[in-house]
A and B are shown apart, each in its own frame.
Chain A
């Protein structure tokens, strides 16, 4: 009995090879590299990996092939999302590498295994040693995400899900300050995430049982042939539960505020931007490629979940007094807006309708904006680390007009005010939903936008129209990495709002799935 070696198109795999290669090298550096030079080397390796991934995806533009024995689909949509993840990942890594803001030079704990609050922990708090394990971990997560959006096979999708999740669970718990909060966040994320993964796996099993295949195209054929029946639908429902959890769509969002708040802010930025892209990439591929012909089964589900997510995110966001939590609820609401666009997918043909490119564009725009917003959060600090309580931001404009202006830009974009990327994205997804006849949904989405806009604007009002507190926070001077991140994200937020044509066109051309 011999097993045929699967066909591997190394070119099509190049982005993944770059990122995973960098992750593996990172592990080796961690094991054998001299401690003194480890930080610059790790940062360089991770950046070379992610940027290499970004460049190769760009070079691959136009590729449409199924490779690795049918396990990977390298197509326009996949490459667009891979490039998005790689780019956002590289920016997140820059945030990780920032050494100017925290007096102890890093946002990450030196030794995660030392019990929080012990003598040793207090000792280590002020030590200027930098922990470098986060770089290979984050790179693995980025690789997992890039694999996730091109997975053409439910099992590969599951593996990718785990590859991206496990490092995330870990790095959520690595905050240097407020360690218990961070560890609690990591445990919650891990436990709930395990449940979600289990549901996903159960779904894979049911779908396999019903259709006899885990290949997305195979599932599509089997489903179109009316095989499977209820088991397929049940499996699909469980798969979607697992994916919606990762995308923090209500009612599977419960972990989001706690984890966003507890995790180190650079990690939160990374999760908010990249995980969202990856999860939605997988949702799109699953629903469109595997279950595109079974639209009637998932449409009502996505419809309902989108409404719940938008309403919960917008209404609960109103009461938040912590900026990180507020942005977490904003992420829940945005997940709902994204689902609105997902409904704009057509059920037939290879060419996608306006929903797919709209969601892809939205993901890029939202990722950049939210990354920038979290980057601003790292700048505003008090004695105990970042000052994320809303009241601490009062009158920030007088302390640092530039910071307040940049933050306002991001918040306006999140609110979807015209001339920012947020408006273009929202417009695109809503239009897709409307064209598909999802009227009431677009209406709810607009109302939710209005409510959500209220809490974003409240922060702007607070920054500009309040007296600064006497013992308020200081605004740190960012080093080169954070400066780059802020410059790129702010510029992109503006450009995608004023002249989004080129990127929209790109998304439009790329919006093709092969299966």
Chain B
């Protein structure tokens, strides 16, 4: 069996090549593949009739328990014979349906052959997951076959509609199959049937599997895709939409009915939808003018009929259903193929324009009439046998519930009346001569090969009617797996004697004829009763709704707005950890408002500054109030008894402000972006909530402390080993010196990065000293103040100079530098240290720059920042290396004490050198920032952005 499937696959892949070589004759060669499968299937008949299964298992994905498990039993054999037999004939038909110059025939041939293989696999699969795989494969190939070349919008719409519906149903079915598999403990159909599970899981599984069957077999309410799919070429309609694919749902229901029929919910669903579909389809078929559409609605109706029979779960109905399935496949594909011939010969399928075709194409007319008679349930055709069996079954038992049986019977008889009526309409429409319509011209007579398939199929239907007892053995093999409700088994036969069922058959035919006779008034009535809404429109509305919804959601959530994105993340943080904190956190036992009232004052100032920062429109002022919050925090540090921290915070805050101001020169003065009040409110709420969350998390974490803080053990060793009384500083340069080394390295990288982004043209190589010539010119100009307080102020535009600032700078600069050195050296015991000292020195440089402009900076610190940075890092790292060389640990502190003349007792702690390194790095950082964000931006302004001016120059780093 695997070989047959592979054969289909290979044929499908080779098909385009074959078509290129041999043209449309290639279809004949391709037809051999399903034909061979058909022969093989029939050869298994003996084994199957003997009650054995033909099984084959090839392991595929052992890790997931996926096997290629195939099984041929009576049911599978019936369907397999249908699929392969009709498939072969349709392929033969294709060899004449397509004209040699048609485009895309190769792809079509490949898809059709591959579809035949998938369909065969579907009915042979024993593993439910394999069944699903083939199920989806048929969906994909049907999509390709319906869409055709994709040139026509209607075909594309129909293809995608069929795809969406059947894929969605298929997925539901997959879930259902897995549920059933789990509940039954096996994924093999044979084992599930042998020992089905029970409980609510089976109910869910049943519903979900039915969803798959309903969509695939186009039952109400998903029936609308099938008529739309009539956009496909006729062979596709004949094969997929009559014999094969839509039968997959019927097959699935038939396959599972022995196990599932008694699951609550199964029967009401199957019977309800089946009967409803039969009636709706038949009713709609009466209104159609296009012969193909008429047949399509007829198919919908018949599928409802079939599902009702095979899903009912009794032996007699199942037997009737199987016969009916066979009959339907034979007559419906014949009819489709007939329409194809008509279409080919006359160029139209509109029954109001066709007239007198019966005389011109007699063979075709006979073929079509035979098939139609089978559809209407006329003896001696197979359709009659099936329908008769169904009626008998329902009259004698069929369903345990007699009321339900009668209701179903009434529905089926009504449906059969409609069937007979649209059958008559079809025959009349296709072949009859109509008054007032000119006889249709037949372009060219169909070739014998073109007619071979429909003739053969309809003859089979004719032969199998009288020969139906031959089918009995096969049908009974399957039907016996279901419980018999009738008093005795009714064998298949054309003639059962005078029975009530015969009367019902006569009634349906007579009713159909009557309905056809009054077609005029009926048509008018139907038009009047036509409902505005259809399931098809509903489908498109749903799709549009989903589309519109997702556009709306995308529009509101994905605007590319960073605040919106951040807001989403923050809301999620609030929703998950936030709720957790709120509901489950062990809150601190007691709350203290403040340690000193000054804290409250600082708090108010900080909060006010924060609020102001949001309201202020001027960038500079906003930055300043943000700075106020920082200073406020520094005051809190100082109040808490952490002068080192406070000092550093003050210095960093100041430097940050300066950098801000330098950058702000390049930006517009005002924040022009305005937000709607609601937006602001939402953001405000989120921001406050996140702030509160963070604060609360901190409070909870602090309150949860049970261990002793690690820092409590610091002061003693800090003095004993580190030789310093300032624990913070000793921590930085000794206890956690490695960390500090890492951090200063980071500073160096950051400074270099900032500088190289601003200095595009050259890396921070030389120092920009004031040009002597310009100084001299300024001297001569005599427009500058006479006394030069600073080195390079002369180069400044007089309008930008401030004598007061120059004088103050002159007075303060050296003092500040000395103070910074004091901080550096005293840091070990007093507040201060290399970091604070470096910041102070940096601020001194800032002062010089602000007072004297960009050349002043070069004069104040005639050294490249890179040198300072590198030197500092070398110094800090070198301390460690030296320590290592001297036999101590890396970065270990040594304490040298000696008495020097003049200075007296001097205690030298080697970590001082490390601190000097830090100092140098910080100074270098500030210098780099000033040079790049200050001086370089000045230069770009002065010289009108030379980056733009000389593009030929290479970027050097």
Contacts and interface: CB of A to CB of B under 8 A. Distances in A.
A501 B63 contact: yes
Interface stretch (A40-48, A113-121, A381-389): A113-121
B554 A319 contact: yes
A254 B570 CA distance: 11
B311 to A, nearest CB: 24
Name, among B149, B550, B577, the residue most crowded by chain A CB atoms within 10 Å (CB to CB).
Answer: B577
B558 interface: yes
Q: Among B64, B163, B164, find the residue whose CB has the most chain A CB atoms closer than 10 A.
A: B64
A199 interface: yes
B415 interface: no
A318 B550 CA distance: 7
Interface stretch (A15-23, A134-142, A229-237, A334-342): A229-237
Interface in A472-502: 499-501
Contacts of A501: 59-63
B64 A419 contact: no
B572 to A, nearest CB: 4
Interface string A421-465: 001100110110011000100110011011101100110010011
B167 A450 contact: yes
Given A231-B704, A234-B697, A450 B565 contact: no
Interface residues of A, number: 83
Contacts of A446: 171-172, 174-175
Nearest to A241: B573
Interface string B672-685: 00000000000000
Interface stretch (B426-434, B459-467, B579-587): B579-587
A465 B700 contact: no
Nearest to A113: B757
Interface string B833-855: 00000000000000000000000
Nearest to B558: A257
Given A315-B550, A501-B62, A449 B171 contact: yes
A418 interface: yes
Contacts of B723: none
Interface stretch (B129-137, B282-290, B345-353, B513-521): B129-137
B564 interface: yes
B144 to A, nearest CB: 8
B884 interface: no
Interface in B443-457: none
B569 A431 contact: no
Interface stretch (A49-57, A206-214, A264-272, A284-292): A206-214
B167 A424 contact: no
A424 B147 CA distance: 27
Nearest to A434: B178
A500 B61 contact: yes
B948 A251 contact: no
A231 B781 CA distance: 72
Consensus secondary structure, chain A interface: helix
A286 to B, nearest CB: 15
A238 B550 contact: no
Contact of A504 (B63, B136, B546): B63
B150 A464 contact: yes
B697 A252 contact: no
A188 B584 contact: no
A100 interface: no
Contacts of A254: 557-558, 564-566, 568-569
B949 to A, nearest CB: 8
Given A113-B760, A230-B585, A418 B133 contact: yes
Contacts of A443: 175
A362 interface: no
Given A318-B550, A319-B551, A418-B133, A447 B147 contact: no
B64 A119 contact: no
A505 B704 contact: no
Nearest to B163: A457
Contact of B573 (A123, A199, A319, A418): A199
A465 B562 contact: no
A316 interface: yes
Interface in B136-157: 136-137, 140, 143, 147, 149-151, 156
A245 interface: yes
B564 A316 contact: no
Contact of A210 (B63, B576, B704): B704
B571 interface: yes
A191 B566 contact: yes
A258 interface: yes
B175 A427 contact: no
A218 B59 CA distance: 43
A79 to B, nearest CB: 18
A245 B147 CA distance: 41
B707 interface: yes
Nearest to B168: A450
A63 interface: no
Contacts of B61: 424, 499-501, 504
B701 interface: yes
Contacts of A241: 569, 572-573, 576-577
A2 interface: yes
Given A424-B61, A431-B64, A206 B550 contact: no
26 contacts: A113-B756, A115-B947, A120-B947, A123-B951, A192-B562, A230-B700, A231-B700, A234-B581, A234-B697, A241-B577, A251-B568, A252-B572, A254-B558, A254-B569, A301-B576, A312-B553, A316-B553, A319-B554, A418-B136, A419-B133, A428-B64, A446-B175, A450-B167, A451-B546, A457-B163, A500-B61
Given A230-B586, A418-B136, 4 more contacts: A113-B955, A118-B948, A252-B569, A457-B163
| 8 shortest interchain CB distances as A-B pairs | A465-B150, A504-B63, A254-B565, A237-B577, A418-B133, A123-B951, A251-B572, A319-B550
